[in-house]
Amino acid sequence: MTHPAQLRRLHFLNALFAPLTGHDLYLAQQIDAAITSSLPEAEERAPIDPAFVAAAAKLFERLCSPQSAHGFFHWDASADDTGVMPLFTRAGVMQGLKQLAAYPESTLLVTNLRAVQCPPTRRWTVRRCREYDDTLAFIRDLAAARSRRNANLNLLFL
């Protein structure tokens, strides 16, 4: 029987590694096994666990070496205290888009945006939900406007 946390991890890994694995669930299970074997108590880790996300992003980045035709950029919104401010959101995403511009296919992974918008000690209010939705729309629109028309950009939010 599959543990709920493992199922969520497999969905995340399948989405993240799809450009390289072709949505092969067997390979997603192999990747999950490789990552979880390197982390303590990994069986209970959810895909939003920072250690799991960092390990998956590091592995994906290694697979997308400079010789590869697939680019990868990971923007962590919680890297500093300014993650949800529009100016700094734009700067972080633009840094990634500039780096990915050279690739015909690429993946932009955005993590911790939800946690920065509403810290665990706070409640989701109508205003916070609206600001979060606006930030998601802003990032999507920015990625659509600033990426090459013939490029295939995968935008993942976690």
- Cβ-proximal residues to 32 (8 Å cutoff; 6+ apart), any chain: 6, 9, 10, 13
Structural domain of residue 29, as residue ranges?
1-63
Q: Return d(Cα 129, Cα 124) in angstroms, integer.
A: 6
Least confident of 38-42, 60-64, 111-115, 136-140: 38-42
Kindly state whether residues 47 and 89 are assigned to the same domain. Answer: no
103 and 116 both lie in a single domain: yes
- Supply the pLDDT for residue 1: 43
Domain shared by 73 and 27, yes or no: no
pLDDT score recorded for residue 65: 66
Q: Are residues 39 and 84 in the same domain?
A: no
Residue 44's pLDDT is 59
Q: Are residues 56 and 101 in the same domain?
A: no
Q: Give whichever of 21-25, 34-38, 146-150 has the largest mean pLDDT.
A: 146-150
17 shares its domain with 86: no
CA distance 28 to 17: 8
- What does the pLDDT look like over 40-74, one tens digit per residue? 765 555 666 777 777 888 877 777 766 678 888 88
Last residue of a domain, one of 41, 63, 85: 63
Looking at residue 16, its pLDDT comes to 79
β 152-157/105-111 pair status: parallel
pTM of the full structure: 0.75
Residue among 111, 49, 69, 106 nearest 32 (CA): 49
> Residues 90-112: what's their mean pLDDT?
90
Residues 55 and 79 in one domain: no
Q: Are residues 25 and 56 in the same domain?
A: yes
- How many folded domains does the chain comprise? 2
Confidence of residue 117 (pLDDT cuts 50, 70, 90): confident
Mean pLDDT of 90-108: 90
The pLDDT-based confidence of 120 (bands split at 50, 70, 90) is confident
Closest Cα partner for 9 from 61, 57, 37, 46? 46
